Structures are given as C-alpha cells and as structure tokens.
Structure 1
Amino acid sequence: MKLTLHEVAKVVGAQNDLSDVEDVDLNQIEFDSRKISTGDFFLPLKGERNGHDFIDLAFQNGAVATLSEKAIEGHPYLLVENCLRAFQQLAAYYVERSRVDVIAVTGSNGKTTTKDMIAQLLSTTYHTYKTQGNYNNEIGMPYTILHMPDKTEKLVLEMGQDHLGDIKLLSEIAKPHIAVVTLVAEAHLEFFGSREKIAEGKMQITEGMTSDGILIVPDDPIINPYLPDNQTVIRFGLDEDIFVTELEESKDSLHFKTNFLEKAVDLPVTGKYNATNAMVAAYVAKLLMVPEETIYEAFKDLRLTKNRTEWKKAANGADILSDVYNANPTAMALILETFSAIPKNAGGKKIAVLADMKELGTASIALHESILDSLSVDNLDMLFFYGQDIKSLSDLARRRFPENTVFFFEKSDTKDDFDALSQAIVDNLSKDDQILLKGSHSMKLADIVTRLENLE
C-alpha cells in the first residue's frame, strides 16, 4: 500500500521535472514537521503559520520529500499550485486504489458517537479504521484516509461542516458506500443562516456516493428536497423503515429493541438519543453482514470518544453528567430531557450548569430562550447560567423557579465571571447531588468538571 514519490507526483500533477529524482517509497504523510520520521513525506500547509517555513526542519527530522508551492533548493519536492488541494487529491486516489469500503457519518449531533459505534461493531468482523478524535474537516479527513492501516477493509469517516460545500468536498474525496445523517439541528447557524441551509449542506454527503450507495437519514421533512434519486434511502424514526421500541432509560444505561433485531440491545451509556445512534450503527452492521449476536456483545463493551456525554464522579461523591464538547439548542434540550428524567439521589439536588451556545447568528438569543420549556421546576433544583446570549434565558427561568435557585454569571468582552461561577458551583454541590454541565467547548465548562473531580 505504500505510495511512491513518482506515483504521488502523477496524482497531484507535479509541475517540476523529477527525471533525476529517485522514486522512493513514502512512509507517513505529515503536516506537522515535529511528527516527521525517517522516510516520511512532508505536507506544508498554510494556516496561522506557513508550513513552507518548516521544510528544512522536516528534512532534518527525516523527510525524504515534500510538497511545495514554490521552487526550493537542495531537497526533493513536488511543485503544486495548492498543497491542500494536492493532499485532498491524493486522499481520493488512495481510497480508490485501496478499494476500501467507506462508511461516512455527518449530523449536527451524534456523528462522533455514531461513528464510534459503527466502527466498534464492524471491527468485530473486519479490519476497521475510523476518524480519530475530531479529524473531520478538509484536512483531518484526508489525513485519516492516508493514515489508515494497510489491511483496512472498512473505513468509518466522520464529516463535519462549518460552511456550505464542506460536506460536498469530503464526500467527493471519500466516495462513501454507506452514508448516515444523524440529525439536522441549529449548529453553525451563524454561517448558514437557516436550518434549511444546514440540511442542504448535510445532504451533500450524497455528492460523492457510489452508484449503489445506501443513505440512512432521519424522518425530518426538512431534508426531503435533497433526497437523491439514484441511491437507496433508509429513514429512521417512528413508523419509518427502522425505529426504536420499548426503550428503558436509567442513569448510566439504555435497554431497547428495534424492528430489525430479534433481541434487545443493552448499552452502557445514557441518553435516549444514544438509542437512536446505536440503532443506526446496528443497522449499518447488519447491512455489512455482522452477526446479530456479535452486535449485542459488542455494544456491551462500548467505547466512545472522550469528552462526549459521560457520567463522572466529583471528589466529594456527587454525580457529574458532563456534556461539554459542543452545544446547540437541540442537543441542549435532549440532554436536559435525559437529566430531568433521572431520579434524584436520596437527599440530593439536581443542578444544571448551562453556558452559551456559539455560532447561532442573529437568532442566538431567541434560540437560547427556546430552552425554557426544557427546564422543569419539578425536576431541577438549581440552575447556573454562564455567558452572554444565555442571560435572557436565565431571566425567564428566574420567573419560573423559586427565589435563590437561579444564578447568572457573565462572560463578555468586558467581563468574565468564570472563577465566581466555578466557586459558586463548588459551594453549592453536596455529595448526594447530581449536576449536569452543558455548553459550547469554548465556554470551558470542562475546566469546571476537572475541578470538581479533583477537589480536596
């Protein structure tokens, strides 16, 4: 599976003469010169710093050749107009050459969890590789493709979008055989303007699909205008092609049935939305001939990417439901529904810490206010709000909840009450309490989770 220098030159359309340059095998392709080892190929990208400034360092670390957008002296290189585009062309070629079976996953919520679940189920039967961490953009996805092990049979790729056209590019590179859209919510609304445009962007996952492709999508009518005519479409949801039945939810597990598996599924995670994610993953596994008994057993040992929804323990014994990686109104409402439904510990309080949801554009304040219906005075005892756009929600909640149970801490260009928020949570958290933390990653609620876990 190793690529050679001259092979890569042909794929990317190198503009310089390589007739006097040895055609050597290339090991890994790296865009961080610090990760270069002997035999690697360097990719100098332009970001906050220009990777071309580190070409000499890459060769000092063992690189055998590099891409470059300008002529260089003293090192083997491939001259191209755009290094990132050449990188993407190479990834597309590698998918075709390897003949790997690609399963692509996108969605406003649940894409990482669903990707993890699909990969875990498929790895029981096939050599499977998946997107590592959040390498799901125009750089990270090609990097994943070019780093998959030689024996990979199933490649599970996560695809993210910040702007319209992002998913189209990734789909055309990966050429998925199976594509999954988990959910269309308000994520990145600032860049898209409407949920309809978000749906259009997500559904561009079909642009590069194989002619015999299978598309798995929710029963959301907003995607109907973008459904393809030339691929099989499977809908999930109540009364659709596949659906969840008899769902039983507890603090740290789920038990449910589907209409296509003979037995019930047990999952060691919470949140009824994860039952839907698992159902989709199981359906993909069934399509790819993973035995049912294998599916049940694999779910029991489920391992998910860190920093998604997970229960943790505070040092004083309190239960922490941490969901601090990202946030949008749909995701916040879903986790509040899950948290509110969990019975209280004897003698304990239910506390929710909610921070700003970013990239919601001009509708941000209204979308924050839409969370009010998810705040149940019967199931939540104390609320902490942190940010700027979330203030109006805190004002509305204060009218609904008893006095001295709702608190707002500001984060703006002129003021940041993070330390006061953190201390107030510590002061009010008892050993029998349950506390939920939810907000966009940039609000740094993960730092509060860490503090609670390590209190002296």
Structure 2
Amino acid sequence: MIALSLAEIAAVVGGQTHDIPDPSVQVTGQVVRDSREVEPGSLFVAFAGERVDGHDFAAAVVEAGAVAVLASRPVGVPAIVVDDVQRALGALARHVVQKLGATLVALTGSAGKTSTKDLIAQVLQHKAPTVYTPGSLNNEIGLPLTALSATEETRFLVLEMGARGIGHIRYLTELTPPRIGLVINVGTAHIGEFGGREQIAQAKGELVEALPSGADGGTAILNADDPLVRAMAVRTKAKVIFFGESGEADVRAENVRLTDRGQPAFRLHTPSGASDVTMRLYGEHHVSNALAAAAVAHELGMSADEIATALSEAGSLSRWRMEVTERPDGVTIVNDAYNANPESMRAALRALAAMGTASRAKGGRTWAVLGKMAELGDEALAEHDAVGRLAVRLNVGKLVAVGGREASWLQLGAYNEGSWGEESVHVSDAQAAVDLLRSELRPGDVVLVKASRSVGLESVAQALLATGAEGEVSAR
C-alpha cells in the first residue's frame, strides 16, 4: 500500500485511535486479514467470523510487525476502532485508489472472469506495472484488499468483480470506481440465487452504468457475441468497444483453430492492426477471453503486435483452472476443479475433446471426472443432464460422475444419450474416483477433473498427480 499515517487512516475510515502513542507512524506494508501474512509495517484487518475472530490475533500480529489493527473494538494493542470493519476497509481502498491515479480496469461475467483477468494482467504488464486480483478474491473484502496492495509505481489496477445479487457490483464500483469496465458474458452461474439470466444481466450491467462518460475517459468493453451483454451498450454513457468473433466487433478473431494439443490459435484484428496469436492455454473458450483482454489493451494504447505477443506468452496465474500436467508415465491430468457452472463445464469438455485428438494417436483415452454444479436452483436437473449428454456427443471416452444426486443426473444424461456400456459410471466420492482411475489409467490418457468448489474434486487431481510421481500406472 502507499504509505499512510495512522492518523490519516483513522480520519479516512471515521475511526478512533486506541493505544497508539504516535499517530504519525505510517503503514508502509500490506493491508492483510490473514495473520500469517503480516510483515513489518502491515495493517491487520480484524474480521469476526463464524469460526475465527481476527481480534484474537491482535497481540500476535503486532508482535510480528503490524503497525496497528483495524478493529471493531479495543484489543489492547495499537488499533483504529470502527463500527463496521468491512465498510472501513472499503473506504480506505477508495481513498488509496483516488490518491494513486492509476487506470482502474474492472471486469465481470458469469464464466471466465478469473482467466480473463489473468490474461489482461499479463498483457498490461508488458506496458507498465500492474496490480490485479489474486485468484477469485472478487467480493466486498477481497476487492478492497487487492486495491490496497497497489503502490506508487502501479499504473494499471485490474479488478475482478463478482455478484450474488442485484446491487453487489454497484457497491464494488463505489469502492473502486473504474475507468474501463468489461462484461464478458451472461450465463447461468448462480442462476438459482438470481432467478434468471435477465436478472443476472441486470446485475452485471451495473458495472457499465458506473463508468464515467466517454468524454471523461470512460470505456465499456462488451461481448458482441452475447446478446444480453451487447444490449448493455444503452445502459452506459461511456464509449463502447465490442469484442468477439462477430464481423461487427471492433476487436475480433478470424481463422480460429486448435492445435493438436488443444491450444487455440487465431488472427487478432484490432482497430490499429492485425497479428497472429497462438496461446499456451487450453480450449477454444480462451479465444473470447483473449479478445476481451486485447480490447482492454488496445484501449490503453498497445499495438496489435504487442498484444498478440503478450497473449501468446501468457499462462495461467490462478490454480486449478485448466492446469495441464503430464505425468512421467504419459498420463495427462487437467485440473479444472476450482469451480464449475454449465458454461465453463461445456467449455472444459470441448477442450478435453480437442486434447483427445493427440491422446488417441498415442493409444490414449479421454476421461471426464465431473461433480456437482452448485447454485442452479430449478435448472439443476436439466443442466446436469445436458452436461452428461454433451460428454457422450463429444465422444469422451469415459465419464466418471462423482458424488450424490447431481452426479447421478450427470451419469443418467450420458446413459440416455447412448452411453450404455462402461462409458459412464457413478461413484460415491472422490476416493472412489481415485481408486477407479488408479486401476484403469494407462499411458496417453487425458483426465479432466471439474466440479463446483464445494465438491473439492481437486483432491482427485492431486492424488492422481502423486500417483504418477510414484510411477504407478496400469499397463493395460
């Protein structure tokens, strides 16, 4: 964070200082909520959770070097006490962002937010120092903590914004007002909470409503291939740039194809020129993510050649998102287990199918180890059934559905689509899936692991990677 005195912080957040002998002392380190991340000069934010109360760690964090604690009550060590810690954190973030003067890029969408954010960050880092949301810390706590990690050298601040209801994104934009706002897509993630795609579009569109006018530098970047996103153009006073594969898009892709390893390649067209891109990521769905990143970079002055070079070099910055690892025995594990919704599940299956082309040449097979997609409400049965059917249509070698009721719907969808033999199986839990795969995998096989975060299927991928390191694989 930029250096601020405790007196200035207290004034910004409307707090009272307690046990602070010298209010001119500055916070020169990071603002953190995890006591394990405290370093000399830090400000520790004490949240009272259901299981852990950060106030209990106050003495320990000060001993570890924290300058003070942002707290809701006196804690016996230097503290700034406020009525609402979360709102105080947000107020501090807004103050720092305004002082920084960095260009703030905010993005939202139903699927692909984190992958797109990672691409934007890697592209912009070619131009100037960039700070971006780590992982998926895109809520009312994670977002201000990310903003506060910016320093005087930061020129671009890339913030992912999530929403679970109307008004959530509006609140986040009040904390960190963006100049550039990107909406990737409107899908069915969290549809059980929102009630429908139109309501999701209403919530996501709050981002473009918050942008300054085009005359004041505001730019809305919208997906031309998604009708609900394209329609958001009338909800903003900012300049609008469209991206997509549509011929009408300002930033678009032509000659899209996949390499024999399932990595996308295309000709990137921007208003300033065209250049070829071959990505290191896996799956055709990353083309849209790359175009979104290219549109942001173009708006910030990068040439088509500069953007294409950066996109071709970019990798995955966030764990468990299409992480592709080939074991020493020739089995490839695709760990995409961080989260899942119908759109991302379909994209992952298509990527697996593309990778299967190369695996079959080695005598290998494709495996989809899938679990529950959460928060789908009344759409849950239909969506799980559809994913099971798609696995069969894409000629995935074997579907392993893991877990309870929703997993049984995945397997039933595959069965009804024509998977009548041993092409699909329903197992009770992650360990059962690991036991099955350990007994049947052979060199050349490609295994996709994907489910909603609550299922914890990353344990399957991790167990299979450990197995490969031990040299255990079936020779069949």
Q: TM-score, normalised by structure 1?
A: 0.91
CA distance in 2, matches of 1:285, 1:226: 20
CA distance in 1, matches of 2:41, 2:432: 52
Stretches of structure 2 lacking an aligned partner (at least 5 in a row) = none
1:26-41 correspondence runs (5 A): 26-28=27-29, 29-41=31-43
- Asked if 2 retains the 8 angstrom alpha-carbon contact of 1:347 and 1:432, the reply is yes
Over 3 Å counting, the alpha-carbon distance change for 1:59 and 1:30 in structure 2 is same
The answer to whether residue 373 in structure 2 is matched with residue 371 in structure 1 is no
CA distance in 2, matches of 1:331, 1:346: 27
- Asked if 2 retains the 8 angstrom alpha-carbon contact of 1:345 and 1:433, the reply is no
Spell out, residue by residue over 1:247-270, the C-alpha distance to the aligned partner (whole angstroms, 9 max, x if none): 111224221013324221111122
Residue 438 of structure 1 is matched in structure 2 by: 450
Helix, strand or coil: the match of 1:144? helix
The answer to whether residue 450 in structure 2 is matched with residue 407 in structure 1 is no
Over 3 Å counting, the alpha-carbon distance change for 1:338 and 1:38 in structure 2 is closer
Q: Which amino acid aligns with 1:155?
A: L
Residue 192 of structure 1 is matched in structure 2 by: 194
Q: Which amino acid aligns with 2:263?
A: S
Helix, strand or coil: the match of 1:332? helix
The answer to whether residue 10 in structure 2 is matched with residue 9 in structure 1 is yes
Helix, strand or coil: the match of 1:326? coil
1:36-47 correspondence runs (5 A): 36-47=38-49
Residue 349 of structure 1 is matched in structure 2 by: 365
CA distance in 1, matches of 2:289, 2:257: 15
382, 385, 390: which one aligns with 2:407: 390
The answer to whether residue 57 in structure 2 is matched with residue 54 in structure 1 is yes
Over 3 Å counting, the alpha-carbon distance change for 1:433 and 1:30 in structure 2 is closer
The answer to whether residue 462 in structure 2 is matched with residue 450 in structure 1 is yes
CA distance in 1, matches of 2:456, 2:105: 32
125, 141, 144: which one aligns with 2:143: 141
The Cα of 1:332 is off from its aligned counterpart by: 1.0
Range moving further from structure 2, 438-447 or 148-157: 438-447
CA distance in 2, matches of 1:390, 1:23: 58
Spell out, residue by residue over 1:157-205, the C-alpha distance to the aligned partner (whole angstroms, 9 max, x if none): 1112233322222111111111111121111223222222222222222
Over 3 Å counting, the alpha-carbon distance change for 1:304 and 1:348 in structure 2 is closer
1:115-126 correspondence runs (5 A): 115-126=117-128
Residue 414 of structure 1 is matched in structure 2 by: none
The Cα of 1:156 is off from its aligned counterpart by: 1.0
Aligned length: 449
Residue 316 of structure 1 is matched in structure 2 by: 329
Q: Which amino acid aligns with 2:267?
A: K
Over 3 Å counting, the alpha-carbon distance change for 1:430 and 1:6 in structure 2 is same
- Asked if 1 retains the 8 angstrom alpha-carbon contact of 2:366 and 2:446, the reply is yes
The answer to whether residue 299 in structure 2 is matched with residue 294 in structure 1 is no
Q: Which amino acid aligns with 1:389?
A: E
The answer to whether residue 347 in structure 2 is matched with residue 334 in structure 1 is yes
Over 3 Å counting, the alpha-carbon distance change for 1:70 and 1:442 in structure 2 is closer
Range moving further from structure 2, 303-312 or 61-70: 61-70
Q: Percent identity, aligned pairs only?
A: 32
244, 260, 263: which one aligns with 2:253: 244
Range moving further from structure 2, 370-379 or 297-306: 370-379
Helix, strand or coil: the match of 2:211? coil
Over 3 Å counting, the alpha-carbon distance change for 1:32 and 1:419 in structure 2 is closer
Spell out, residue by residue over 1:296-317, the C-alpha distance to the aligned partner (whole angstroms, 9 max, x if none): 3222321222321132223431
- Asked if 1 retains the 8 angstrom alpha-carbon contact of 2:373 and 2:452, the reply is yes
Helix, strand or coil: the match of 2:370? strand
Q: Which amino acid aligns with 1:230?
A: K
220, 237, 240: which one aligns with 1:233: 240
Helix, strand or coil: the match of 2:343? helix
Helix, strand or coil: the match of 1:7? helix
- Asked if 2 retains the 8 angstrom alpha-carbon contact of 1:365 and 1:390, the reply is no
The Cα of 1:53 is off from its aligned counterpart by: 2.4
Residue 285 of structure 2 is matched in structure 1 by: 273
Q: Which amino acid aligns with 1:427?
A: S
Residue 95 of structure 2 is matched in structure 1 by: 93
Residue 219 of structure 2 is matched in structure 1 by: 214
Q: Which amino acid aligns with 1:366?
A: A
CA distance in 2, matches of 1:255, 1:12: 48
Residue 413 of structure 1 is matched in structure 2 by: none
Spell out, residue by residue over 1:389-438, the C-alpha distance to the aligned partner (whole angstroms, 9 max, x if none): 1312312312312412210113xxxxxx3322211122221112222222
The Cα of 1:336 is off from its aligned counterpart by: 1.6
Helix, strand or coil: the match of 1:375? helix
CA distance in 1, matches of 2:297, 2:340: 28
The answer to whether residue 266 in structure 2 is matched with residue 256 in structure 1 is yes
Spell out, residue by residue over 1:265-324, the C-alpha distance to the aligned partner (whole angstroms, 9 max, x if none): 111122111011111211211111123332232223212223211322234312233321
CA distance in 1, matches of 2:82, 2:223: 41
- Asked if 2 retains the 8 angstrom alpha-carbon contact of 1:181 and 1:202, the reply is yes
The Cα of 1:21 is off from its aligned counterpart by: 4.4
Stretches of structure 1 lacking an aligned partner (at least 5 in a row) = 411-416
Q: Which amino acid aligns with 2:373?
A: M
Q: Which amino acid aligns with 1:221?
A: P
CA distance in 1, matches of 2:124, 2:367: 38
